[in-house]
Amino acid sequence: MRTSPVIDAAAMLEQVEAWSAINTGTGNLEGLARQADMLAEAFSALPGTVELVDPAPVTAIAGDGREYEKANGKHLVIRVRPGANRRIVLTGHMDTVFPPDHPFQEQRWLDDETLNGPGVADMKGGIAVMLHALLAFEQDSAASSLGYDVMINSDEETGSLASAPLIAEMAAGKLAALTYEPAALPDGTLAHERGGTGNYSITVKGRSAHAGRNPEDGRNAIVAAADLIMRLKRMEREDITVNPARLEGGGPNNVVPDHSLLRFNIRPKSTGAMEGFDAALDDLLAEIASAHDVAVHRHGGVTRPPKPVDTRAQALFDLVRECGAELGQDIRWKSTGGVCDGNNIAACGVPVVDTMGVRGGAIHSADEFLIVPSLAERAALSARVIERLAEGALGEQGSGEGDSR
C-alpha cells in the first residue's frame, strides 16, 4: 500500500466551514463575489495565474413571456504551466441551490465526523479537495511535467449556461479532466455514465374574449398548453423522459386566457434521443399553433448532453481505481441520472471523472452532510491520480479525436 501524501486536514475543514458560511445561491451576486475573492486568495498558493472571468450572456423567460437577461457571477480561472506538453483541467462550482432567503444557512455537527451545512458536500468540500490535492502534487518531483487549468464557475446549479463557453474553451485539447462533485454514494462510489438534460420554456399567445358572451372569438392559451403537455408526455420513450414542471398564465374566470407559459425538462439517455426530441419538438409546436390558432415561441434547449463512457474515459476510471487501491481505498462506480459539468466536458471529447469530491449526501436539501475524514482521503486520491497523469499514465496529449467532437 502506497503512503498517502501529506494533507493538511485541519486547514481543509477550516476552509470548508468559512466558505459554507457565505451564502452563494446562484443568483446571489454579492455572496458569489465574496466567495470568488476568498477562493482567488486560496488558489493563489499555486504557482500560476489567477483571474476572474465575466459570465457569458444568458437570457430567461419571465412569467409574462418576456425574455430578459439573467445576471450571473464571475468565474474563477487558474492556469499553471500553460506551456507543458501534458495538460489537464480541473473544475468545480462555487454556487449552491440555497438562496439568501432559504432557511438552511447554518452549519451543525451531526456527530464527531459528520458536518451538516449548505454546500459542505456540493461542493465547497470538493473545492477544498481540489485545492489541497494540487498543493500536495506541487511538492512532487513530477509536477514540472504537467500543466493544468482550474475553472470554478458560479452557475453550475442552474445549468452552467453562463460558463458553458468557458468550459469548452478550457477543456479543448486536454489529456483528461477531473471534476469535484461529491461522490455518487456516501461510500465514495463514483458516477459513471450520465444521461443528459434540457430545459425549455414555451410561450403561447392566444386571444382574449368574454367567456360567456363570445368565447368562440377567443383562443385559449391554457387549453393549447394543456394539449401540448399531453403530447409531450406521449413523446417519452425508454431512452428519454419528459417532465412538464410548471404552467403559468390565465386570469379571471370569465375571460378566455390569451397567455400561457409552460416550463418542462427532458432527460435523454443517449445523444440520439436528445437530437430526435429536439427536432420533433419544432414539428409538435407547429401542430399546436395550427390546431389552436395561437402563436407559440420556444426558448431553451439541451443544456447538458448525455455523458457516455468510451474507452479513453474508462481508462481514466481504471486509473482512479488503481490509485485508490494504492492508498487502501476501494473505488467503485455506477451510472446515474444526474448531470453536471462533466457532461459538458465529455461532449468536448475529453475523458472525465466528475465525482472526485467528498463523501457525503442529501445534497440540495437541508440535510446535506459532509463526512469530514473524506476531505483528506479524497485529496490524497486526487493527488495520486494527478501524479500518475504527470508520469504519462494515459499516454501523451494529442490534438486528434478528442478535440473536435
Q: Give, for all 405 residues of the chain, the pLDDT tens digit.
A: 677 778 999 999 999 999 999 999 999 999 999 999 999 999 999 999 999 999 999 999 999 999 999 999 999 999 999 999 999 999 999 999 999 999 999 999 999 999 999 999 999 999 999 999 999 999 999 999 999 999 999 999 999 999 999 999 999 999 999 999 999 999 999 999 999 999 999 999 999 999 999 999 999 999 999 999 999 999 999 999 999 999 999 999 999 999 999 999 999 999 999 999 999 999 999 999 999 999 999 999 999 999 999 999 999 999 999 999 999 999 999 999 899 999 999 999 999 999 999 999 999 999 999 999 999 999 999 999 999 999 999 986 544 333 332
Compute the distance between CA of residue 298 and CA of residue 61 in angstroms, rounded to an integer.
Answer: 10
Give start-end residues of each CATH 3.40.630.10 domain in the chain: 9-194+307-403
Question: What fold does the segment set 9-194+307-403 form as a domain?
Answer: Aminopeptidase (3.40.630)
Q: What is the largest CA-CA distance in the chain?
A: 84
Instruction: Tell the burial category of 95 from Cβ atoms under 10 Å away from its Cβ (0-12, 13-18, 19+).
Output: buried
- Residue 196 has φ and ψ, to the nearest 5°, of -110, -175
Spatial contact of 123 and 182, defined as CB atoms under 8 Å apart: yes
Spatial contact of 157 and 93, defined as CB atoms under 8 Å apart: yes
Residue with grid cell 440535510, as numbered in its chain: 367
Tell me the residue type at 17. E
Identify the CA nearest to 306 among candidates 262, 342, 357, 351.
342
Inter-axis angle of helices 311-326 and 374-390, nearest 10: 120
Compute the distance between CA of residue 123 and CA of residue 120 in angstroms, rounded to an integer.
Answer: 6
- How high is the pLDDT of residue 136? 98
Tell me the residue type at 261. L
Identify the CA nearest to 302 among candidates 180, 208, 198.
198
Q: ω before 123 within 30° of 0 (cis)?
A: yes
Compute the distance between CA of residue 189 and CA of residue 332 in angstroms, rounded to an integer.
Answer: 5
Q: Which residues contact 317 (CB under 8 A, 6 or more apart)?
A: 190, 192, 309, 333, 353
Compute the distance between CA of residue 125 and CA of residue 180 in angstroms, rounded to an integer.
Answer: 9
Identify the CA nearest to 305 among candidates 273, 280, 279, 333.
273
Q: Which residues contact 230 (CB under 8 A, 6 or more apart)?
A: none
Q: Parallel, antiparallel, or unpaired: how do β-strands 75-80 and 49-53 relate?
A: antiparallel
pTM as predicted = 0.94
Inter-axis angle of helices 125-137 and 9-20, nearest 10: 140
Give start-end residues of each CATH 3.30.70.360 domain in the chain: 197-304
Compute the distance between CA of residue 372 and CA of residue 219 in angstroms, rounded to an integer.
Answer: 58
Q: Which residues contact 23 (CB under 8 A, 6 or more apart)?
A: 31, 96, 98, 99, 100, 105, 118
Q: Write down the architecture of domain 197-304 according to CATH.
A: 2-Layer Sandwich (3.30)
- How high is the pLDDT of residue 395? 80
Q: Which residues contact 234 (CB under 8 A, 6 or more apart)?
A: none
Sign of the Cα torsion 356, 362, 368, 373 reads negative
* Structure-block grid coordinates of residue 365: 436539501
Q: How many residues does the chain have?
A: 405
Tell me the residue type at 230. M
Compute the distance between CA of residue 147 and CA of residue 80 in angstroms, rounded to an integer.
Answer: 6
